[in-house]
Structure 1
C-alpha cells in the first residue's frame, strides 16, 4: 500500500513566473478572494494584456504562480496561488534591493492547507537568492486572518502604510 506523504505533496508544487497562458487563472484568483472563479468565465481584455506584457518585460517585476500537479517535464498543472513581486533598488540596507510582495492569493477552496506558506516561503527564498535585504508587503487592515498569517511567517508590523487613489 502506498500513500502520498506531505513532502511528496509539497514537491508536486511548483513556483514559477507566470506565463501568458496563466493570465486567466491569475485574474480568477484576483477577481474574488472568497469564492472560486472559473478562469474561462473571465474576459482578458487589452488592459490586462498590456499590464501582463509590461510586467513580463520588466526584470524588476514578476507575477509568480504556485502550480499543483506539474508533470516531470514541467507541463500541465493547475494554478492554486499567485502573487506579484517588485524588486526595488535602494540606497538603504547597503544598496541592496528590497522585494515588495502584492496581490497574494490562494484559491478559495484550497486555503488552510499550507499552500500560502509554501507560496510565501518559496517567494522569500527567491528574494534572498536574488540578494534582497528585505521583503515587505501591505495588507488591507480588515484582513485580520492574513495579518496573523504574515506574522506567523515572521513579518513584523513596523510601519503604517498610506495610499492615495488617483
Structure 2
C-alpha cells in the first residue's frame, strides 16, 4: 500500500513553520488526544463510568503478619475516603474535590472527582484487626493475616 507524500518540502524556507501546525505543539497534542477520545467514545461506547471514576496508584506488599496496601491520595481529606473489606476483597473509594481557584485555569492534568481502588488479597485475613492511616497523601491499610495462614518457624532437632 502506498502512502501520500508531501512534495512541498523543498519549497519551504529554513525556519518557516510547517503548514497546519500552531505555535504551541502541546495544543496540537491536546487536540489529537481529544480527537482520539471522541473516536473511542463513539466506537466503544464511552470512557470509564462516572460512578467508578479513576483508580489511584497503589502498592500491595506482604509481610509475615499482614498485607499492606499503600495508595497515593494527594490532596484527599480523611473524611472523603471510605474503606470496605468483604471477605478477601479490599475496596477504597472516595472523592478528590476540586478546589476553588481564582483567575483563569489554562491547563490542568490533576485528577479530581470519584476514585475507586480494588484488590483481592491472596490469603485468609483477620478482618477485626484491620487498620488504616492517611499521612502526607499516602493511605496505608494494614490487613493482618489469619493465625493459620501465618508462616511459622519449625526448629530442627537432632536425631541422636
TM-score, length-scaled by structure 1: 0.22
Greater helix content: 1
Structure-2-length-normalised TM-score: 0.23
Decide which structure has greater strand share.
2
Structure of greater relative contact order (alpha carbons < 8 Å, 6+ residues apart): 2
